[in-house]
Each structure stands twice: as C-alpha cells, then as structure tokens.
Amino acid sequence: MTTVDDHAERGQRTMTDRNRRSSPRHRTLKSGKIVLANHTVVYDCRVRNLSDDGALLKLPNTLDIPERFELRIVNEDIQVNAVVRWRTATELGVQFERDGE
C-alpha cells in the first residue's frame, strides 16, 4: 500500500497519482457505501471522483476502514471490490479489483 504523509501537499499527491492512473478520473459528488467483508458494518462516504479503475472517497474518518472492502455507489448499479492505495485522515484513494486479481 502506498501511503501519503499527513504533511504532504495535496497537489503533489494528486500529480503523482495522476501519472500512475491507466484511465482518467472524472469529478463527481455521489453517495457511496463502504461494506465490510462480514456485511454487518457499512460506512457512508462521498465519491469525489471516479474512473474505470478507481475512485477518491471522502469520509469523516478513515481510521476504521480496512485495506479491502466492497464499494457500492448509491442510486447506480455499481458494486465493486476495492483496495486502498493511499489514505489520509479523511480521504481514501482506491483501486477497483477485477475478477482474477
């Protein structure tokens, strides 16, 4: 997992991550649900940007979010397994897992 130092500039993180992406992300403001493996714990989040390969999620606190979870985007037919690639106190950068990964 790649982490971002809390003191790192947001612009530096964004530029570095942008260089590694295989598909462009599009700004959005959608409601999401982070569903843990046991399906008994669900966290609400905001999807701030979205691509075919990943997303930026905004939460009040990312401390209790594990490295892998199911992401559901509310009011859309999107349900995907996600892996955390970086995190700050309130944001998660996630990559979507494809079948066989």
pLDDT at residue 101 tops 60: no
Give residue 101's identity as a one-letter amino acid code. E
Domain edges within the chain: 10-96
pLDDT at 27: 85
State how far the Cα of 1 lies from the Cα of 65, in Å rounded to an integer.
14
State how far the Cα of 2 lies from the Cα of 33, in Å rounded to an integer.
23
**CB-CB contact of 37 with 81 (8 Å):** no
Q: Which CATH number fits domain 10-96: 2.40.10.220, 1.10.3470.10, 3.30.420.40, 1.20.58.1030?
A: 2.40.10.220
pTM value is 0.74
Reduced to 3 states, what is the DSSP secondary structure of residue 64?
coil
pLDDT at residue 35 tops 70: yes
Rg (CA), the chain: 13
Q: What is the pLDDT of residues 77-90, one digit of tens each?
A: 889 999 999 999 99
